[in-house]
Amino acid sequence: MGVTTVTDVRHTVSADGPTESRVPNPLSPLSTLFRSDLGGHEQVLLCQDRESGLKAVIALHSTALGPALGGTRFHAYASEEHPEEAALLDALNLARGMSYKNALAGLDHGGGKAVILGDPEEIKTEKLLLAYGRFVASLGGRYVTACDVGTYVADMDVVARECPWTTGRSPEHGGAGDSSVLTAFGVFQGMRASAQASWGAPTLRGRRVGIAGVGKVGHHLVEHLLEDGAEVVVTDVRAESVDRVLARHPRVQAVRDTEALIRADLDVYAPCALGGALDDATVPVLTAKVVCGAANNQLAHPGVEKDLDGRGILYAPDYVVNAGGVIQVADELHGFDFDRAKAKAAKIYDTTLAIFDRARTDGIPPAAAADRLAEHRMAEGHGG
């Protein structure tokens, strides 16, 4: 069994994703652990199961709104000098981000996240996942786990055999399955809110929207946009992904890469691939007036949100508009009801508008306004 302690971590705007590689933390995990001036974490569990080789960190940032909810990342922190420390910092940052994401998604859940150390291709076994499930279960429901990078619906089915506080399972095992449908729906709602704020009507009709990455989420987003009357341009590093979209929707245009996309004559740019899409190279050449997409950690470093603001580009915070997935896995805990979860994801429209209002009132970028609203809800506690 692991060690439980109280910790803290510096603030990041991002909600999810491999923050350790993008946002260098100047503090060591141990010094970070005991700093409480930024809110602090409630609990951290370090887990080791010698028999299966499991090494994991489970970080609970907050249970102020309810049980901490967040996925399990399975990742080899191999390139790092101190992989264990990198994993711990990642778990701390990701857990904190989940508190913000869950708060603004209107969920009665706090933020938590787990990291399993190692290359999933090499060490992921049923035995290891079952051992991991027992550790999550030992928290007695203070932490609810789900999929993240390196873990899948089938893995959650295994974890759930040892742990009732597991979501993101397959429909055959009582779960809701693939979360990309509601994630894309939520992003579309965020985009409608951005259109309302920018052009005075909640529609993308007649707007030119560029999507970078037409994988699970991106291709569903294409469908929402076409239905709404938008003109859609896509790109993807995988030719098959682009071909699949073009085969279904001949009206969609494709460009060779993301660089060409952001320089195209766009109204909206939707990053739906990897993190760090908005950086010092891309922001100055963006033609779009709105950025709204599914990718986690779109801002490559703190300050990019101000650069976007300075150029008059409206940025819909990633962790707010891509919350459809976590809304889905939270719903699954009550017996999945697609319509109920969709109704909750539809509220991303109102939340995004509220963030833009707050940004205007306070004279700050939307990313900072989102954080303030999330902190307010957490301070109010359950039902706040």
SS (H, E, C) the chain: CCCEEEECCCCCCCCCCCHHHHCCCCCCHHHHHCCCCCCCEEEEEEEEECCCCEEEEEEEEECCCCCEEEEEEEECCCCCCCHHHHHHHHHHHHHHHHHHHHHHCCCCCEEEEEEEECCHHHHCCHHHHHHHHHHHHHCCCCEEEEECCCCCHHHHHHHCCCCCCECCCCHHHCCCCCCHHHHHHHHHHHHHHHHHHHHCCCCCCCCEEEEECCCHHHHHHHHHHHHCCCEEEEECCCHHHHHHHHHHCCCCEECCCHHHHHHCCCCEEEECCCCCCECCCCHHHCCCCEECCCCCCCECCCCHHHHHHHCCCEECCHHHHCCHHHHHHHHHCCCCCHHHHHHHHHCHHHHHHHHHHHHHHHCCCHHHHHHHHHHHHHHHCCCC
Asked whether residue 217 is marked as a ligand-binding residue, the answer is yes
113 is catalytic: yes
CA dihedral 217→222→227→232, nearest 10 degrees, is 150
Shortest distance, CB of residue 233 to ligand NAD, whole angstroms? 12
How many beta carbons lie within 10 A of that of residue 35, not counting itself?
14
Site string for ligand NAD, 304-343 (x = CB under 6 A): ------------------x--x------------------
Nearer to ligand NAD, 295 or 348 (CB): 295
**Residue 212 binds ligand NAD, judged by CB under 6 A:** yes
Shortest distance, CB of residue 33 to ligand NAD, whole angstroms? 27
Nearer to ligand NAD, 32 or 298 (CB): 298
Nearer to ligand NAD, 191 or 294 (CB): 294
Shortest distance, CB of residue 216 to ligand NAD, whole angstroms? 4
Site string for ligand NAD, 237-276 (x = CB under 6 A): xx--x----------------x-------------xxx--
Distance CA 70, CA 232 (A): 32
Nearer to ligand NAD, 147 or 159 (CB): 147
Nearer to ligand NAD, 91 or 273 (CB): 273
**Residue 93 binds ligand NAD, judged by CB under 6 A:** no
Nearer to ligand NAD, 16 or 305 (CB): 16
Nearer to ligand NAD, 50 or 256 (CB): 256
How many beta carbons lie within 10 A of that of residue 357, not counting itself?
14
**Near ligand NAD by CB under 6 A: residue from 42, 155, 157, 236:** 236
Shortest distance, CB of residue 35 to ligand NAD, whole angstroms? 28
**Residue 378 binds ligand NAD, judged by CB under 6 A:** no
Distance CA 15, CA 112 (A): 11
* Residues 154-183 close enough to bind ligand NAD by CB under 6 A: 179-180, 183
Shortest distance, CB of residue 308 to ligand NAD, whole angstroms? 18
Shortest distance, CB of residue 5 to ligand NAD, whole angstroms? 29
Asked whether residue 335 is marked as a ligand-binding residue, the answer is no
Amino acid making up residue 127: K
Asked whether residue 213 is marked as a ligand-binding residue, the answer is yes
Asked whether residue 218 is marked as a ligand-binding residue, the answer is yes
**Near ligand NAD by CB under 6 A: residue from 29, 67, 175, 213:** 213
Shortest distance, CB of residue 320 to ligand NAD, whole angstroms? 11
CB 313 within 8 A of CB 292: no
Q: Which of 113, 124, 289, 344 is catalytic?
A: 113
As annotated, the binding site includes 213-218
- Active site positions, annotated: 113
Binding residues for ligand NAD, rule: CB under 6 A, are 179-180, 183, 212-218, 235-238, 241, 258, 272-274, 294-296, 322, 325
Which residues are annotated as part of the binding site for NAD(+)?
213-218
